[in-house]
Amino acid sequence: MNFIRVSSACPLTNIGDIEFNLKNIEDCIDKASVEKSKLVVFPELSITSYTCADLFEQQLLLKMTLEALKELCDYSKGKDILIAVGAPIVYNNCLYNCACIVFKGNILGIVPKSYIPNYEEFYEKRWFTEGIDVIDESIDFYFQKNIPFGVNLIFTCGDFRFGFEICEDLWAVIPPSSYLCLMGANILGNLSASNEVVSKSSYRRNLICSQSARGMCSYVYSSSGVFESSTDLVFSGDLCISENGVLLNSNNRFKRENEVITAILDVDKLKSQRLKNVSFRDNVKKFSHKPVNIEFRFENMDYGEFNRRVEKHPFVPDNKNEREIRCREIFNIQTAALGKRISHTNLKKTVVGISGGLDSTLALLVTVKTFDILQIPRKNVITVTMPGFGTTDRTYNNAVSLCRNLGTELREINIVDACTQHFKDISHDRRIHDVTYENVQARERTQIIMDIANKEGGLVIGTGDLSELALGWCTYNGDHMSMYGVNCSIPKTLVRYLVRYVADRETSQNISDILIDVLSTPVSPELLPKDKEGQISQKTEDIVGPYELHDFFLYYFVRLNYSPQKILFLAKQAYKNDYSSQVIEKWFDVFIKRFFTQQFKRSAIPDGPKVGTVSLSPRGDWRMPSDASYKLWVDSIIKD
């Protein structure tokens, strides 16, 4: 499934004590191997230590560096892990600051540092030569010949393609890792010796995350530890692993022992991002450098215990503060979009069908806020409640109370008589509670609000959400239709938090209480008669499955284009304490079949604002034939 565990390591070092340094490097390799890592990245010049200064010109130090590399090669035999270690290397009478890539007894390649800092506390050009122009060269050591040497080396094992840069390279205007990404690398290692000054660590980690996002790659960073500190410089052993802009793991700095951190990377995620991003593909075409691909093979891809965090609700930030920021941003997007449509049409009224459910509540809150921003009286928001055969007292009272407390114009139109007449017109027995029975009501409600909009010169605001569109859980030309759908790219799991966000900030206790009760009401279209106790009998999630599962499936199917097997694997990890494997598989089968068969509805939806990374608009993000077969996807689930 293209998962791989990688490590960033910081060994204890003594400046110039190669034997001591190598022993601790080997200890970190063992720790990373026990963790089932397939890559371990060490700090810059870790074999000698970074702060040797003029000692780098000592023949003894350089000779013993080669001896240490040979010993490290011998030590790596039988170990199924790629090792990136820093060392000074002489080539053509020039000294280079290098990353030596070791695997199972051999140096696969050597990457020189492209940019040599020579400002403020750094004066590396006193000893080292820039490697930016070193391409397609090779080096001979006494124990190994023809070792590839250059900045364009890509170390390839199947879909895992590794590239390396060194410290200052990341701080350049165009880092070598950007070129490496364009040459195909998706896992980047940085061997660094970055000293500490106030606030530098947070800036550095932002830089790492930013570069992993820009390159749509994973980035494994390792910097020298506290025992590298000497004279005026202090080092902290900063270790972090980032993936596509997200920090997967990092350490607490200033440790005084060997330290190894690990994380599981998802290369499929990176591949998907790059395939979708046209700018990335165009950039590849403009880039002229050719990579030197160095192929190798891991014995196995065992990553040990799967401890990568898998969010249950990928559309909803787990952190409360971040979630509140997200909700505020979404409301701003929704209101700005609706405000533009109202201004453009020069219509001063809107019509919203109110059911007392989550979606219509959110649509109403957005509409009211938009009218406040545009300084249009709330009475121009025409809210219509249309009780039918399945309307319960709870939802009816919530709908009516909310509209009255918000100060909108409220109209009540009972649809029972109109639907009964329509049943007669089409010769349908109203005792048969089938899809015709349900859709008659949905279309009657849509006809009412559309005609009111025509009569009043208003705009019908759609209430349907992204999850319903994905499943086709809407009546074609019924609640499926509106003049502007403000919720169209908001999944059900996020709708709840948006309503809660408003409830928590509402100054009116009455409105807040109503919103809280709406949140606790079961999701239902209320198209079937109430039960004997007058409660909701038709619960959507009993019919199509839990929305949290469907939102999870939707995210990984549309956003990342994952295979059914991988989606199921991740779902079972995320929900292992909530649903059995059989239940997850059952609802995934429902999701796939409904997603494919209901595309014709999505091909004919009204305009609405895109608020997140997943949108099913046929005019932009999702273009799918209405007659596509789901057989390939369903069959692959069965085979698995």
**How many other CB atoms are found less than 10 A from the CB of residue 232?**
8
Asked if 632 and 593 count as a contact pair (C-beta separation under 8 A), the reply is no
The pLDDT assigned to 640 comes to 58
pLDDT greater than 90 at residue 524: no
Tell me which of 539 and 304 has the higher pLDDT. 304
pLDDT tens-digit map of 249-281 = 999 998 999 999 999 999 999 999 999 888 888
pLDDT greater than 90 at residue 403: yes
Tell me whether strands 39-41 and 82-91 are parallel, antiparallel or unpaired: parallel
Taking residues 438-450, report their average pLDDT. 96
**Of 632, 494, 496, nearest in space to 565 by CA:** 632
Kindly report the average pLDDT of the chain as a whole number.
Answer: 94
Asked if 327 and 464 count as a contact pair (C-beta separation under 8 A), the reply is no
Q: Where in the chain is the domain with CATH 3.40.50.620?
A: 320-639
Instruction: Tell me which of 2.120.10.10, 3.30.565.10, 3.60.110.10, 3.40.50.2300 is the CATH number of domain 3-295.
Output: 3.60.110.10
**How many other CB atoms are found less than 10 A from the CB of residue 148?**
20
Q: Binding site: residue ranges?
A: 119, 194, 200, 353-360, 439, 463, 468, 473-476, 601
Quote the CA–CA distance of 337 and 483 in Å, as a whole number: 13
Annotated active-site positions, please?
A: 44, 113, 167
pTM for the whole structure:
0.92
Residue 205: which residues within 8 A CB-CB, separation 6 or more? 238, 240, 242, 247, 250
Confidence class for position 532, pLDDT limits 50, 70, 90: confident
Asked if 189 and 41 count as a contact pair (C-beta separation under 8 A), the reply is yes
Query: Per mean pLDDT, which range of 1-15, 397-411, 477-491, 536-550 is the poorest?
Result: 536-550
Taking residues 189-209, report their average pLDDT. 92
pLDDT greater than 90 at residue 35: yes
Quote the CA–CA distance of 479 and 463 in Å, as a whole number: 8
Tell me which of 118 and 325 has the higher pLDDT. 325
The pLDDT assigned to 415 comes to 96
Q: Where in the chain is the domain with CATH 3.60.110.10?
A: 3-295
pLDDT greater than 90 at residue 77: yes
Q: Binding site for ATP: residue ranges?
A: 353-360, 463
Quote the CA–CA distance of 26 and 525 in Å, as a whole number: 63
pLDDT greater than 80 at residue 39: yes
Q: Binding site for L-glutamine: residue ranges?
A: 119, 194, 200
CATH 3.30.2130.10 matches 320-639: no
